[in-house]
């Protein structure tokens, strides 16, 4: 039996002493997750393709006390040699990790199916996108999630052995786009995110025998370089409420906040009784848009 004092938020959601790795951790949702973990005591290694962005994120957002943000890389998660190098670099400093967040992703090509005429649809969709663009989208958003997770399995299992059963976990950043039937003009991206959602379920089942939990966060509209095409000097992006409201299918009538993403990340990190779940943090979009 626990005491009432044991149920204080600072105890329930503390990640003090945790070692975490976040891909794409220098901007957007990856940075939100990184800040949440570091603010609550974790040592967080962030990686990505742009070392200057990682360095700036660590310099700007490391907490004054407690946790720490450490840039490592650069790393292209679609290259096995980069992943092996990343694991080796972290292994030189850590005997284990408690959490891996696979966040790195790309938006892929866009072609709107706006016409009711099949000939116009073919012209827009068949000629508007390429096989190579689809392959790049799947490589980054699906294949890289798989190979990144597999590369870190030994360090994750070492974390499970050090901190108790199912204490090590993976959070896959998928998307509400992988659950809905509306293409949003992004057939390649949404199809890839649908695959990411299912991959999360596959990994949760197959890796439970190794004592590693796998869950996924399916975000809605959050400010990031992917959604706004830019970030400021603090690596932060802005998505005005009016832009989100224009879409007409967001009950919250705004983008998601850093705090709301942080709450989801910390919950999945700490709750060892949750495994194989897809948590939509979408402002209610999936209440309005048809899903599967």
Q: CA separation (Å) from 270 to 6, 81, 209, 248? A: 14, 31, 19, 35
Is residue 11 part of the annotated active site? The answer reads no
Q: Rounded CA gap, 99 and 18, in Å?
A: 8
Q: Which residues of 159-197 are buried (b: 16+ CB within 10 A; e: fewer)?
A: bbeebeebbbbbbbbbbbbbbbeebebbbbbbbbbbbbb
Is residue 247 part of the annotated active site? The answer reads no
Is residue 193 part of the annotated active site? The answer reads yes
- Of 107, 169, 174, 204, the active-site residue reads 174
- Of 45, 96, 107, 189, the active-site residue reads 189
Cβ 257 vs Cβ 241: under 8 Å: no
Residue 5 neighbours by CB under 8 Å, 6+ apart: 11
Q: Rounded CA gap, 50 and 43, in Å?
A: 20
- Of 169, 175, 193, 204, the active-site residue reads 193
Q: Which residues on adjacent β-strands are paired with residue 51? A: none
Catalytic annotation, residues:
174, 189, 193
């Amino acid at each position: 039996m626990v005491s009432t004092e044991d149920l204080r938020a600072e105890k329930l959601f503390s990640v003090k002493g945790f070692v975490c790795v976040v891909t794409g951790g220098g901007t957007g949702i990856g940075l939100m997750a990184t800040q949440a973990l570091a603010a609550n005591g974790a040592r967080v290694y962030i990686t990505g393709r742009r070392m200057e962005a990682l360095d700036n994120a660590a310099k700007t957002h490391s907490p004054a006390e407690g946790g720490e943000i450490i840039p490592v890389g650069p790393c292209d998660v679609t290259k096995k040699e980069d992943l092996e190098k990343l694991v080796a670099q972290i292994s030189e400093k850590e005997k284990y990790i408690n959490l891996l967040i696979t966040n790195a992703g790309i938006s892929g090509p866009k072609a709107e199916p706006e016409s009711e005429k099949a000939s116009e649809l073919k012209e827009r969709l068949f000629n508007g996108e390429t096989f190579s663009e689809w392959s790049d989208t799947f490589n980054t958003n699906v294949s890289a999630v798989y190979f990144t997770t597999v590369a870190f399995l030994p360090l994750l299992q070492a974390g499970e052995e050090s901190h108790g059963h199912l204490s090590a976990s993976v959070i896959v950043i998928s998307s509400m786009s992988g659950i809905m039937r509306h293409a949003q003009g992004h057939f390649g991206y949404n199809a890839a995110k649908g695959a990411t959602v299912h991959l999360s379920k596959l990994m949760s089942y197959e890796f439970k025998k190794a004592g590693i939990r796998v869950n996924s966060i399916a975000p809605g509209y959050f400010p990031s370089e992917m959604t706004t095409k830019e970030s400021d000097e603090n690596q932060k992006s802005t998505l005005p409420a009016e832009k989100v409201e224009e879409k007409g299918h967001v009950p919250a009538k705004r983008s998601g906040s850093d705090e709301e993403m942080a709450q989801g990340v910390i919950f999945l990190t700490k709750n060892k009784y949750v495994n194989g779940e897809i948590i939509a943090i979408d402002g209610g979009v999936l209440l309005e848009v048809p899903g599967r």
